[in-house]
Amino acid sequence: MQVSRGLEDVIIKTTSLTFIDGEKGILRYRGYDIQDLVKASYEELIYLMLYGELPNKEELEKVKGIINESYEVPESVINVLFSLGRSCDPLGMMETAFGAMASIYDPKWDRNTDKETALKIIAKASTITCNIMRSKEGLKPRTPEPSESYAKSFLRSTFDREPRADEIRAMNASLILYTDHEVPASTTAGLVTASTLSDMYSCIVSALSALKGPLHGGAAEGAFKQFQEIGSPDKVEEWFSETMKEKKRIMGFGHRVYKTYDPRARIFKELADSLSSKNPKAREYYVIASKLEEVGLRELHERKLYPNTDFYSGIVFYSIGFPVYMFTPLFALARMLGWTSHFIEYVEEQHRLIRPRAAYVGPDRRAFKPIEERSKKV
């Protein structure tokens, strides 16, 4: 009997979406290096992931058109978000909103339109993420208005201001960097639901529920909170030694797949460096993070522990103005594209109900006794 704990090394599907070489630090979406794709617009990436090729201008306009028409979320869903209370967990709010939408939209998996469903989900996720923050900040609901880009519409509606060009570029790049990472726990949870031919909104609820756990979605927040805890660059060495002595982990360091520098972390670092130069508080955290990276690399590189994507991403989000509690919802917003692309790839090309087995190790058959005949335990 071989039990594959954590489904480690189990191949659940084939994919043409994402390629990772953890030894060489390579990440590609549909054959394109992440370093090249990060220069594209998020809408181009949406087309690439869902339709397999980079779009021409006409195809891009079509995708933008569907997204621009789909930002609206039913009022009842927005009302639910605003009735939950400002102290609610933001990812739980996201699950609630998608759960509500699963009950409103056609629950059938429609093979002819599911790429369009994915586009609608990506648009509505922007409205939901924006309103999670607006609800928690005590602001009024707002729906993103169409603009030149998805990233710009999202920032403008979330913050009620015109975002700067470098903020839009950083938001666009963050969406691309967090788009997909093969089949981590959240994607796998969503795939299990997709395999039952449940609707795509419910698949997102499953993925979000898995993302919510601290072993998956919370590392960017964890990394940023440790920079806050350290407080100043001269305390890094001492903090690091204490953390190692207590056998705690450096958040934003290490990866199950990458045994070298995570290519996403390099790009996030550049973005964090440039954006934080305009935000003094964020700059303080960037300087602490750089120092922690230096010490971490010195002490941990022999164990193949390097910064991962979550090490610097929080500084990018914080520089733009996002509160720390928004880091995981922002990850989820970007991952909508990866999740839906995997669901479609699985259901359209490789569908089979996911139904593993468990090896029984309990007692052999026992005679049932009525309760009167069971001896007292105390």
Torsion from C-alpha of 19, 109, 12, 262, nearest 10 degrees: 30
Is-catalytic flag, 106?
no
Distance CA 297, CA 139 (A): 42
| Interacting residues with ligand CMC between 240 and 299 (CB under 6 A) | 249-256
Closer residue to ligand CMC in complex, CB, 256/281: 256
Residue 200 and residue 206: Cα distance in Å, rounded? 10
Nearest-approach distance from CB 121 to ligand CMC, in angstroms: 20
Handedness of CA 48, 52, 57, 61 (dihedral sign): negative
Site for ligand CMC in 88-117 (CB under 6 A): none
125 is a contact residue toward ligand CMC (CB under 6 A) = no
**Residue showing tokens 């056609």:** 106
- Which candidate in 255, 273, 301, 342 is catalytic? 255
Site string for ligand CMC, 163-192 (x = CB under 6 A): ------------------x-----------
Specify the residue, 253 or 322, whose C-beta has the smaller distance to ligand CMC: 253
The residue among 125, 132, 142, 129 whose CA lies nearest residue 340 is: 125
Edge-first strand listing for the sheet containing 18-21: 18-21, 26-29, 32-33
Cβ closer to ligand CMC: 82 or 306?
306
DSSP for 24-69 reads: TTEEEETTEEHHHHTTS-HHHHHHHHHHSS---HHHHHHHHHHHHH
For residues 317 and 299, the answer to whether their CB atoms sit within 8 Å is: no
Catalytic status, residue 342: no
Closest to ligand CMC by CB, 144 or 338: 338
Return the residue nearest ligand CMC (CB atom): 254
Min dist CB 259 to ligand CMC, Å, is 9
Q: Which stretch binds ligand CMC (CB under 6 A): 109-117, 265-273, 306-314, 347-355?
A: 306-314
User: Rounded to the nearest whole angstrom, what is the least distance from the CB of residue 214 to ligand CMC in the complex?
Assistant: 9
CA end-to-end span of the chain: 38
- Residue whose CB is less far from ligand CMC, 205 or 250: 250
For the annotated catalytic residues, the residue numbers are 255, 310
Binding residues for ligand CMC, per CB under 6 A?
181, 219, 249-256, 303, 305, 308-310
